[in-house]
Structure 1
Amino acid sequence: MPTKSKKKSKLDVENNEDPTEEAPLVMPEEEEVPEPLIEDLPGVGPATAEKLREAGFDDLLALAVMSPGDLADQAELGEAVATKIIAGAKKMANIGGFVSGGALLERRREVLKLSSKVESIDDLLGGGFETQALVEVYGAFGSGKTQIGHQLAVNCTLPMSEGGFDGDVFYIDTEDTFRPERITQMARGHGLDPDQVLSRIHVARAYNSAHQMLLVDEIKRMSKGLNVKMIIVDSLTSHFRAEFIGRGMLANRQQKLNRHLKDLKQLADINNALVLVTNQVHSKPDAMWGDPTKPIGGHVLAHASTFRLYLRKAKGGRRIARLVDSPNLPDGECVYQVTQEGLRD
């Protein structure tokens, strides 16, 4: 007697599915781990976090590179609390320990280079002005220090594809030499809208050395929401030179200058930015041979500078830039000119 076949369910017939076939496995999506906040640090509650943010510290790296005394002063905290916060930030940000040379090389790939739009200068600097570096440009009056500052401020606003950083610039003017009219000329020389360029350059006049140092703290507070890629101080030593006179005040001057340079370098590291400082010079009367022109600032500035460029005038309105110190490039020099539209080969 024939057996009756089992009827398939209506759902199986419609979907033509094999009831024995296993459903495909669906892998759960990996959840993104959120970036740690300063509230995640040990001993940091809402009140302390608010103090830190008001002082310009809104990420772990900014805290990790501070010293306890500086953080205590700027955020109005006890030094013991500041020490605990910094230790926690270093641990959570994973900095402060040893790394392999390969890991450091990989980290160096984050470094950007700003083109001067002068081929000879870029070649001298191995492709341009580096971020995470403090570049000192020194020379006599009229050698073109401020012109380089103005030109790089304009170039910083250029798109990355054109050798710029597409970034914002903070310009500390200590000698009242910043001229928006000159920025306008240089912007037009690159075919840029001068108004748009000027809107991305934030300028402050420093009236003394204490004010100059405070403006660096102001940059930390103002940089929220901005793509800070360059800080210019023109000139670095003018106020220090005028206020601390004589050998009796030399040690105090050098200590303050050292602190100022350290704060600037921190801004460069935290923002992956370029710091450019111009510097005055003096003539060394007892020099028996060679060029008697020496930069102000002594060993403190010499050790703090990543790259040092010495500018001087040449015949026919040209300028000579000499690279006198670099951690990875040979000494050398190049010739360029300053035109109405900016720096040119």
Structure 2
Amino acid sequence: MSKAPTVEDVARAAGVSRQTVSNVLNAPDIVREETRLRVRRAIAELGYRPHVAARQLRTQRSSTIGIHLDPYAGGISGVVLDRFVHALTEQAGDRGMRIQLYAARSPAEEIARMRELTDGGEIDAVVITGTFHGDPRTRWLAERDVPFVAFGRPWGEDDFSAPSHLWVDVDGAAGTRAATRHLLGRAGSRIAFLGWPAGSGTGDDRERGWREAMDDAGARGERLVCEEDVAHARALVADCLDSLGMVDGIVCASDSLAIGAHLATADARVAGLPVVGFDNTPVVEALGLSSVEQLPERVAAGAIELLMGNTGRIISPRPATPGHAHVLVEPRLIVR
């Protein structure tokens, strides 16, 4: 087995001193950009990884970011978060950080786990997912000055000009707007939207994109309400096709709903009716359905950037300054 590269190896490859390499890893702001880039290039080429235990002793930090591992829910859900956690782990590793997964079945239980991990010095920061209005997790973290970023916006009245915390999210409205415009141009003006009951921040945002595209085109379409369930979506769309007659296409808030709608159109012998999902999971790819891809790798990059900036450490605490507190990732429509 070959010997793991050392700081000295990196310094030699980059043509700098050992201290300069250390500065790039721990205080990059004091290093000139040209030198910093040269050292990072050498680190990447050699595959160097900082010795985490040594860094912890030196800085009194764990160099670890905690993130909640969602419980297995079956079905096709969870693919996006799986990709996000994988990308977060890779990108944190590139910055000399580790990811600590923890399980919890409720916000209260998650707060208890975060308390154990922060009090024990096992994590320096937290990434939370699945935010909602009045989320007690964000309030708990903010009150204790624990650095954190959310995958999901605060869902307040003004998350952009007056953000309550750092957040990164996917622009769901942009995704459904693109999907709706695609169907308006390809299928016709009667484009329905199949989404969740009102009150879900994510769902309402995705519905907004459909409404905006329809209004811009002067078109009208049915808004269908369904829980996140393939069988329920299949039955609902089947009933609507019977009662409303033909629609020209359906934009869905998720791939699960899109699969249900697709099965209903096949049952009604209108298999050519275009259906667009949201999440671009392997299942819709196998079925040949178009879908909106969230690009979780870009979300992960945004989360790391908000937590660490252009430094080699967690920024603590970082205020939620308007214009600098969020990263909004525009998704990509995959047409099949």
Give the TM-score normalised by the residue count of structure 2: 0.31
Give the TM-score normalised by the residue count of structure 1: 0.31
Rg larger in 1 or in 2?
1
Q: When you count helix as a share of all residues, which structure comes out higher?
A: 2
